[in-house]
Structure 1
Amino acid sequence: MGAKIEVTPGSAESDGAFQVWRANEDALIAWLAVETQWRVVSSMAGLVWLGLDYSAVDVVLRRLKSPDRVFANLQDMELAALEAFNEALA
């Protein structure tokens, strides 16, 4: 993960930059802030991603003063990420 975001007006350039809708900005900032808060276990099949550590996520969201809706957004993003991360186990 480790991505940095820079909020600038304008359209996406050919350098791979993309635009984030203002409605999704808080969720993206929170997502990047909790990128190190994953629960992962090692098994014979490899790494199994369990999900975000909600205790740590709560601390991050409070420190960011994120609106309550951001937690629901993070859960949606978490489900999509878990599918991708654990795809090799299926």
Structure 2
Amino acid sequence: MDGEAAAEFAEMGLAVSIPTEDTDIEAMEIMASNRDSMKAFLAVATQWRIAAGLANMIWIGLDYNAVDVVLRRMSFSDAVFSDLQVMEASALAILNGGGA
């Protein structure tokens, strides 16, 4: 935070503390509404279908038969499956070298 922002907070009577330790941590907060979808995505992380060639691997997508077993065993809602498909599409773009 720069000095100007700190001054604005001070004018509002707010004390803001800035951590002095290294905050370059690869962690993020997951919104409660997305918690189950994230848990499901992590639970099916080993269920990707790939095609391996001599030069590289092509990520095809999640194995939906296996995903269904995981979602049922963990009692996730149908909405979580829809969220997984969105996450899968985004992941495929990155995994296959296209970026986000």
Q: Name the TM tier (shorter chain).
A: 0.7 to 0.9
Distance 1:55 1:32 in 2: 16
Higher Rg: 2
RMSD across aligned positions (CA): 1.6
Give the aligned partner of residue 31 of structure 1. Answer: 41
Question: Structure 1: any 5+ residue segments left out of the alignment?
Answer: 1-12
Q: Which has the higher contact order (CA 8 A, sep 6+)?
A: 1
Q: Does 1:54 align with 2:81?
A: no
Q: Does 1:65 align with 2:75?
A: yes
Distance 1:59 1:48 in 2: 24
- Please, which moves more after superposition, 39-48 or 53-62? 39-48
State the shift of 1:70 in Å.
Answer: 0.2
- Please, which moves more after superposition, 41-50 or 17-26? 41-50
State the shift of 1:16 in Å.
Answer: 3.4
Question: Structure 2: any 5+ residue segments left out of the alignment?
Answer: 1-18
Distance 1:81 1:54 in 2: 15
Give the aligned partner of residue 3 of structure 2. Answer: none
Distance 2:43 2:51 in 1: 21
Q: What is the total number of aligned residue pairs between the two structures?
A: 76
Provide TM-score, normalisation by structure 1.
0.78
CA displacement, residues 24-79 of structure 1 (integer Å, 9 cap, x when unaligned): 00000000000000000112441000000000000000011001100000000000
Distance 1:67 1:16 in 2: 29
Residue type of the alignment partner of 1:72: S
Residue type of the alignment partner of 1:76: V
Provide TM-score, normalisation by structure 2.
0.70
SS in structure 2 at match of 1:87: coil
Segments of 4+ in structure 1 off by > 2 A? 13-17
Residue type of the alignment partner of 1:69: A
Percentage of matched positions with identical amino acids: 46
